[in-house]
Amino acid sequence: MAIEFRPWVDGDDLTLLQLWGDPDTFQASQFRAALAPSSDASPWRRCIVAEDVVDGVAIPVAAGVVYDTSLHSQRLWAYVEVAKDHRRAGLGATLVTMLRREAEQSPSGVTALRSKVEPGTAGAEFAAALGLKPIQSSRMVRVQPAPLPLPRFGDGSEDAATDLVQDLATGSVELTDVVGRYYEFIHSWDPTGPLTAGTVQRLFLNELTGAHGAVVLRQPAESAFGSSVPTAKKGKIRSFAVSYPDPQLLDASARVDPADADSAPVGQPSEVFLGHEPALDAAEAQRAVAELLALIAHQHPVLVEYDDDMAALGAVLKPLLGAGRASVTGPETQIVAD
């Protein structure tokens, strides 16, 4: 086996994907999209291809990429994939060494690496052998209908509920603010820095993300002039749920707003990003998440992503998982890093 290395060029994706076949994991399918020609523009990227030269013919068999990101800028993303018949020969480790050398030239000066793996797979074993350690894990949880008792708001009337539970447009400034601060709050392990409203919209809430509905649970409105004087303002957001289509689960045309339970197809989960106002204390955050989950999953299942740092959501989901009212869907994803 005579191995030569060169930069990635257009057309390598077709050759390598044909050789590699279907990705081993969901994470691999995501990272394959990052394999592209090297670039000094944003995002900065270096991508290397390994070729096996047989009788003078060079056949691409492996590739690796390292690149930066503006959202989590303290580490570079890295990914390596090797054809099955060329594994366990040191080729992957060689590519990582070469990528680390390239990372030393990154404009940001950042050299630490991170990647995503599925526990128990060859990729996870490879990452561990390289010294990358898990720093976060996430899983998708399917919550069954009516997992929790419906909350009672105020005097229990429809008017009381209407004041506290509301649909919001995904372009809402108020929603954008709380979603951005919540994302910062749950990523202290890989800081984002303050997120601008434009960044939050681009990543989570505009139509290109698939976000197509949001429901929020509010604090009771309070008047500055006493309880006997009505207020024109709404109470602050306690918790939120943003609905997204998921082509792996359901045709997008059948997706519904999580607040519009009556029109949801029976048995199919709506995927939602469920979070809370970061300033709430632990007990109140848990209550706000539980009440909103009870509402959006009252008649139909929902699918939520649960990361280790989502403490309030975890406190709500763990008893449901133990009671069989929720179940983990698919394999766990681990982020591993230097």
Domain 2-131 fold: Aminopeptidase (3.40.630)
Amino acid at 310: M
Nearest one of 151, 182, 153, 174 to 296, comparing CA atoms: 151
pLDDT at res. 327: 98
Separation CA 124–CA 133 (nearest Å): 10
Residues in the chain with pLDDT < 50? 223-225, 229, 247-266
pTM: 0.86
Domains 2-131 and 140-337 share a fold: yes
Q: pLDDT of 214-227, one tens digit each?
A: 999 999 886 444 55
Cβ–Cβ under 8 Å, residues 199 and 181? no
Q: Can you give the residue ranges of every domain in the chain?
A: 2-131, 140-337
Q: How wide is the angle at C-alpha 193 spanned by C-alphas 190 and 195, nearest 5°? A: 120
Pull the structure tokens for residue 31. Answer: 């990272």
Residue 287 neighbours by CB distance under 10 Å: 20
Cβ–Cβ under 8 Å, residues 47 and 64? yes
Alpha helices in the chain (DSSP H): 12-20, 26-32, 91-103, 122-129, 158-164, 173-185, 197-200, 282-296, 311-322
Separation CA 63–CA 225 (nearest Å): 66
Nearest one of 25, 24, 23, 21 to 333, comparing CA atoms: 25
Pull the structure tokens for residue 334. Answer: 């681990």
Separation CA 34–CA 78 (nearest Å): 9
Cβ–Cβ under 8 Å, residues 218 and 237? yes
pLDDT at res. 254: 26
CATH architecture of 140-337: 3-Layer(aba) Sandwich (3.40)
Rounded to the nearest 10 degrees, the angle between the axes of helix 282-296 and helix 311-322 is 60
Backbone angles phi, psi at 226, to 5 degrees: 105, 160
Burial classification of residue 297, based on how many CB atoms lie within 10 Å of its CB (0-12 exposed, 13-18 middle, 19 or more buried)? buried
Cβ–Cβ under 8 Å, residues 268 and 145? no
Burial classification of residue 212, based on how many CB atoms lie within 10 Å of its CB (0-12 exposed, 13-18 middle, 19 or more buried)? middle
pLDDT at res. 228: 53
